Amino acid sequence: MTNDLHVTFRVGTASYAVPAAQVLHLESFENATLVPGAPAYVAGLVQVRGRVVPVVDLRVRFGLPPVERTIDNRVLVVQVGTRVAGLLVDSAREVLRIDETSFEKPPEMIERQSAGFVTAVATVTKRLFLLVDVPRLIGEELAHG
């Protein structure tokens, strides 16, 4: 029954959702240790509850221009298999119940333009949420060579 719980967040002008089951916790974001040589969308390393975790800057990942960081910035700590990574987002507040059936395949043009990061679209009380592919966001393809 908890399967339809989603953590929602904003990056740029859009709202996104990830299944709550993939999110370990939310953290505020102050600063990350830069890792020279890592992909540009890697904001760096942060230490979360004794664990060193790489953070993916979703603004960069989504091809948006950089903006001044604010106190609303959040890191969604997500787990994919044995990997734990952070997603740096503009803001994240709500945990919403979004029924599975309300997700629809995104329009083809959106799907293409988003490079596969968006897998579905849902409308909840007239608000639009884009469901993102977390393994893809954290570069699951890197893990398999």
Partner 1 sequence: MSERVDLQEFVGAFVAEAEELAAAANLSLLEIEVANTEGTTRPRIVRDLFRALHTIKGLAGMMGVEPIVEIAHALETLIRSADRAGGLLSPKAVEIALQGIGEISERVQAVAERRQVAGIPVQLIATIASIDAEPAATRLIKKIPSGWEGRLTVGELQQLDHAHDTAIPVWAVTFMPSASNVTRGITIASVRRDLAAIGELVRVFPRALAGPGDATGVAFDMLLISKASRDVIAATAATELVDIVAVVAHSAAAVAEIAASGAPDAPGAPDRDDHVTAIGRAVVRVDLSRLDELQEQLSLLIVSRFRLEHEIAAIAKLGHDVRRLREIAQLQGRQLRDLRRAILRARMVRVADVLEPLNLLVRGLARSTRRPVQLVLEAGDTELDKAVADRLLPALIHLVRNAVDHAIEAPEERAAAGKPTTGTVRVSCVAVAANHIELVVRDDGQGIDRDAIARRAKRPIASDAELLEVLTRPGFSTREVATTTSGRGLGMDIVQRVAVAELGGELALQTTLGAGTAFTLRVPITIAVMDVFSFQCGAQCFVVPASLVEEIFEVSAETVSVGPSPPRPGAGASTNSAVSLFEHRGQAIPLLSLGALLEIDSGARARKALVIRRNGQPMAFSVDRMIGRQEVVVRSIDDPLVTVPGITGTTDLGDGRPTLMLDLNELASVYRDRVAS
Give the HSE-up count for residue 84: Cα atoms under 13 Å, Cβ half-sphere: 15
Are the C-beta atoms of 98 and 17 separated by less than 8 Å?
yes
Instruction: Give the single-character DSSP code of 33.
Output: B
**Least distance between partner 1 and beta carbon 40 (Å):** 11
In the complex, least distance from residue 115 CB atom to partner 1, rounded to whole angstroms: 17
**CB-CB contact of 53 with 108 (8 Å):** no
Q: How far is the CB of 101 from partner 1 (least distance, A)?
A: 32
Select 26 or 45, whichever has its Cβ closest to partner 1.
45
Closer CB to partner 1, 106 or 139, in the complex: 139
Least distance CB 54 / partner 1 (angstroms): 4
- Within the chain, how many helices (H) and strands (E) appear? 4, 11
* Cα distance between the two ends of the chain: 36
- The contacts found for 103-111 with CB under 8 angstroms, 24 or more apart, are 103/131, 106/130
Task: Output 11 or 137, the one with its CB closest to partner 1.
Answer: 137
| Beta carbon of residue 71, minimum distance to partner 1 (angstroms, whole number) | 18
Where b means 16+ CB within 10 Å and e means fewer, 58-73 reads bbbbbeeeeeeeeeeb
In the complex with partner 1, which residue's Cβ is closer, 67 or 143? 143
Q: Which is nearer to partner 1, 86 or 98 (CB)?
A: 86
Residues at the site binding partner 1, with contacts judged by CB under 8 A: 31, 33-39, 42, 45-47, 50, 52-54, 56, 83, 85, 138-139, 142-143
